[in-house]
Amino acid sequence: MIDRIVVSGVVPAATPDRVRDPAPANRANTTKLDSASGSFARALSAAAEDRSLHLSGHALRRLEQRHIDLGPSQLDRLSSAFDQLAGKGGRQSLVMLDSIAYVVHVPSKTVVTAVAPDDEHDAIFTQIDSVAIA
């Protein structure tokens, strides 16, 4: 079960052989998005209330641009996928949820980006160590 959503502008830096966790201090700082997407971020955060899933600023922009809705049911399934991936040692993973691909950083429980099925130019995923179908 998800406890809260935190909007973060920090996207974990990936290197070929490892993924670095964002600094805890950076996760505490929430990003102020531009006025157009600020209302979207507030609406998503309000809908999820006090959940423990993090969304990078990039992920929030992609969700808004691609008209991807994350309701409580999807957030719970996404959180469950994080738990399963963590249990198997996943770090930088791809989660397939209702035909939407989410690239996630498992240790920080952060959604890095989201890709809809009609985004052909974003159909290649690199530096992924695991995949979950939620």
48-104 per-position pLDDT tens digit = 444 588 999 999 999 999 999 888 899 999 999 999 999 999 999 999 999 999 999
pLDDT at 82: 94
Model confidence at 31: pLDDT above 50:
no
Contacts of 108 (CB under 8 A, 6+ apart): 12, 21, 22, 27, 54
Strand bridging mode 53-56 / 5-8: parallel
pLDDT at 122: 75
